[in-house]
A and B are shown apart, each in its own frame.
Chain A
């Protein structure tokens, strides 16, 4: 074979060799074909484990029960019992160490998520007592008049 063919060929072969060697080190041992076969199960197995390690942020209402029993006991006797504390107060994460306090959102928007009247039959929305945000005491926070943990209408009229 002539030199001008032979030399570039060696260079190319060396390059391929290098890439393949690099591949040995770069591709992790657990990368390959797994349970669902080549089409759906070609992956790095360690990644499944990685995903399980994401921190849990929403702890659920039972977590709050011990330290805020007044709020818990109060809300549990009302129709608002179905709403998780963290829906209104944000994720607990590691509260009370981090963050020390949870948010107190007094905005009307928070309550209007459910109580803005939408006349939608074939949807649960129609069953919730709705108000017209533009007519029902506009510009005043709902919690000035209603207790979110005890939203009773008694004595309001």
Chain B
């Protein structure tokens, strides 16, 4: 049988324990969770790529790697350029040697494992370049899967990674349908294009946009109706990648082809 003394002791301990734990757990206000998700910020960064203009020089990749301190010779990059060649007999080739850091200086397609494919000029039906980068999705799956709140969408739409908070589990890398994430070779945390956040917040263009000699890359604010990029997205025919995933990517492409995934 429990005596009165023990009963009181236990009650005090129990209450102390419960209050202590409650004070430590952040009480999440449901109103906050279901808060009005239409954010009030006046900026929503978007990107526009014109694949007709891209010549595959790769200066964007070179600039991105140096601006964002991605080890130059490591085979990872925040942005890259893909080459697509479709031949008259319906075959289709795609490559991106070193992410096109050094551009495309030969017509041979890099098939990997040291194999190259030569394609004759007469056989080419269409051939073009497609720059790729993070889509800064409106519904980013990479953010949903992060167990620790290390990756998130900033109020201006850019998806960022908190290097201090990231535990390196790699779920986000698996979760991204566009394959834009990788581990940073130095910090060993998830890494991705963030539209050169340090530049756009200072009123500069991203490093890749500035480096592109042909205007194939542009960045803009979709909430500003007078922004030239917004005007193009609103009035011209633009495409997005993997629309069926419902991620609402915010990198728009002019001249996409069905082969481009």
Q: Do A and B bind each other?
A: yes
The secondary-structure label for the interface of chain B is loop
Determine if A64 is an interface residue (Cβ-Cβ < 8 Å).
Answer: no
Q: How far apart are the CA atoms of A54 and B191 in the complex, in Å?
A: 14
Tell me the count of chain A residues lying within 8 A, CB to CB, of chain B: 58
A110 to chain B, nearest CB (A): 9
A75 to chain B, nearest CB (A): 12
Pick out which of these stretches binds chain B: A27-35, A94-102, A139-147, A149-157.
A27-35
Determine if B76 is an interface residue (Cβ-Cβ < 8 Å).
Answer: no
Instruction: Decide if A17 touches B17 in the complex (CB within 8 Å).
Output: yes
Residue from B62, B85, B128, B160 in contact with A87 in the complex, judged by beta carbons closer than 8 Å: B62
Contacts of B32 in A (CB 8 A): 33, 37-38
Q: Mark B232-255, 1 if CB is under 8 A from A, else 0.
A: 000000000000000000000001
By CB atoms of chain B within 10 A, which of A20, A84, A122 has the most?
A: A122
Instruction: Decide if A21 touches B20 in the complex (CB within 8 Å).
Output: yes
Residue from A37, A56, A82, A119 in contact with B33 in the complex, judged by beta carbons closer than 8 Å: A37
Pick out which of these stretches binds chain A: B88-96, B97-105, B178-186.
B97-105
Determine if B45 is an interface residue (Cβ-Cβ < 8 Å).
Answer: no
A5 to chain B, nearest CB (A): 12
Which residues of chain B in 135-161 are interfacial with respect to chain A, using CB atoms and an 8 Å cutoff? 139-140, 143-144, 149-155, 160
Find the A residue at minimum CB distance from B37.
A37
Residue from A36, A41, A57 in contact with B67 in the complex, judged by beta carbons closer than 8 Å: A57
Instruction: Decide if A57 touches B210 in the complex (CB within 8 Å).
Output: no
Determine if B42 is an interface residue (Cβ-Cβ < 8 Å).
Answer: no
Q: How far apart are the CA atoms of A10 and B41 in the complex, in Å?
A: 49
Q: Mark B187-205, 1 if CB is under 8 A from A, else 0.
A: 0000000100111011010
Instruction: Decide if B63 touches A58 in the complex (CB within 8 Å).
Output: yes
B246 to chain A, nearest CB (A): 14
Q: Mark A1-36, 1 if CB is under 8 A from B, else 0.
A: 100000000100100110011011001000111111
Interface CB pairs A-B, < 8 A, 21: A20-B24, A23-B24, A41-B153, A43-B162, A44-B149, A47-B160, A47-B164, A56-B198, A58-B63, A60-B210, A84-B210, A84-B213, A87-B213, A118-B104, A118-B127, A119-B121, A122-B52, A122-B255, A123-B54, A123-B56, A125-B56
* Chain A residues proximal to chain B, CB less than 8 Å: 1, 10, 13, 16-17, 20-21, 23-24, 27, 31-44, 47-48, 50-58, 60, 82-84, 86-87, 90-91, 109, 112-114, 116, 118-125, 128, 133
Known: A119-B121, A123-B55. 10 other contacts (CB 8 A): A33-B28, A35-B40, A36-B152, A40-B144, A52-B198, A56-B67, A57-B66, A119-B107, A123-B128, A125-B55
